[in-house]
Amino acid sequence: MDAASRKTVVVLIFALILDLLAFTCILPLFPSIIDFYSAENRKDSLYSFFDSAIRSIQNLALIPNLTRYNNVLFGGLLGSIFSALQFISSPLLGALSDVYGRKPVLILSVCGTLVSYLVSKAKYTESLSIA
């Protein structure tokens, strides 16, 4: 492997590790974020929709209604949505990289990820003191 290829691989691995660290950084905060949005005075619309759907299923199936388990299920749903969106966007980014090249698409996706992390940092300033 020549020096240019080695440099490219190092940059790609660094970007991947940085992205994985940034995503897993929020995982320990999931329970407190879900508790924050599940509080009665701050009901989020997505959480409210999910909670009402789960309560309907629980009533229909005669399952006891325990909020803590609903929150765990909601956290799992958020993780699943993340994975599903990766499944959808990966072929699209692959097709774009075939047309425009890998480097511009990689730079665009890393910049998009950076913007999303900055927006999250601005929104959750009190809970994301790590960054």
Q: Is a pLDDT exceeding 80 seen at residue 116?
A: yes
In tens, the pLDDT along 3-48 reads: 888 888 888 888 888 778 877 777 777 777 777 777 777 767 777 8
**91 confidence band (pLDDT: 50, 70, 90):** very high
Which of 62, 61, 40 is CA-nearest to residue 51? Answer: 40
CA distance 44 to 26: 19
Which of 113, 93, 87, 104 is CA-nearest to residue 16? Answer: 113
Q: Which residues contact 92 (CB under 8 A, 6 or more apart)?
A: none
The percent of residues in the chain predicted with pLDDT above 90, rounded, is 10
> Could you tell me the pTM of the whole model?
0.61
In tens, the pLDDT along 44-63 reads: 777 788 888 888 888 888 87
Q: Is a pLDDT exceeding 50 seen at residue 131?
A: no
CA distance 71 to 87: 24
